[in-house]
Amino acid sequence: MTRWKLTIEHDGRPYVGWQRQAQGASVQQEIEEAIQKFSGETVRLHAAGRTDAGVHALGQVAHFDLQRPSDGHTVREAINAYLRPQPITIVSAEPADEHFHARMSARRRRYRYIILNRPARPALDIGRAWHLAYTLDIPAMREGAAHLIGQHDFTSFRASECQAKSPVKTLDQLDIVEDGAYLKFEVSARSFLHHQVRNMVGTLALVGRTKWTPAQVAQALAARDRTAGGPTAPPDGLYLVGVDYG
């Protein structure tokens, strides 16, 4: 038996999210079925992050066990052949230690959130960025973001359906980078609460349009109450960029 580590890129638009659900195609199901077709084995994929419907991945990581011996090139190419023409691709397949666990072993998860900030709606990035037409106060957003860095109880930015045992997380990075009409949030932590990135971005957008002061972000955090936080930004702009191990 070999444990395989997959690095996965996918478009989030056609799927109900990472996880299998009663209705609708999931990324997990599509890849599990492709593995079954190539190997004849029924496997269970475990991912580093269970992304929601519409959320994209550049570097999702998942593992599974295969009885049949193989090599990285063959595993990658065979799964990709059966995934075609779907917008899911295995970027790499590597044999991993038997104790490797995509979710449990992850040391850092890196996300990017992209806002398209201009009057005109997107054409090339429909479903791949959050369109905000009003002018944003970016220095104020950065000031608000600074309040979120570090270890905090993030209850105010946590989805009601979140299954994490504790609302205390350590946010290592929340940088806001301007790139033409695009505003890119680079966010990283060991782990996140459900909807945490989208709730933080939705809140910082309130600061950007000067509906909130930067200090109100700190107040919302201190309230430890989801109703004190801002709205959830849409999934369109969110990308799981990568997961670090070891």
Contact residues for its own copies, defined by CB under 8 A: 9-11, 56, 58, 73, 76-77, 80, 84-92, 118-124, 126, 128
Choice between 126 and 177, CB closer to its own copies: 126
Cβ–Cβ < 8 Å for 224, 42: no
CB 218 within 8 A of CB 228: no
Calpha distance 6→4 (Å, rounded)? 6
Whether residue 52 lies in the annotated active site: yes
- Residue 11 or 153 having the CB closest to its own copies: 11
Q: Output the smallest distance, CB 99 to its own copies, in A.
A: 26
User: Whole-number minimum distance, CB 126 to its own copies, in Å?
Assistant: 6
Tell the smallest beta-carbon distance from residue 109 to its own copies (Å). 18
The one catalytic residue among 11, 52, 125, 225: 52
Q: b/e per residue, 184-215, with b = 16+ CB within 10 A?
A: bbebbbeebbbbbbbbbbbbbbbbbeeebebe
Shortest Å distance, C-beta 72 to its own copies: 10
Cβ closest to its own copies, residue 182 vs residue 245: 182
DSSP string for 170-182: EEEEEEEEEETTE
- Beta bridge pairs of residue 174: 187
Q: Which two tokens stand for residue 122?
A: 């997107």
> Is the distance from CB of 216 to CB of 143 less than 8 angstroms?
no
Q: What is the set of active-site residues?
A: 52
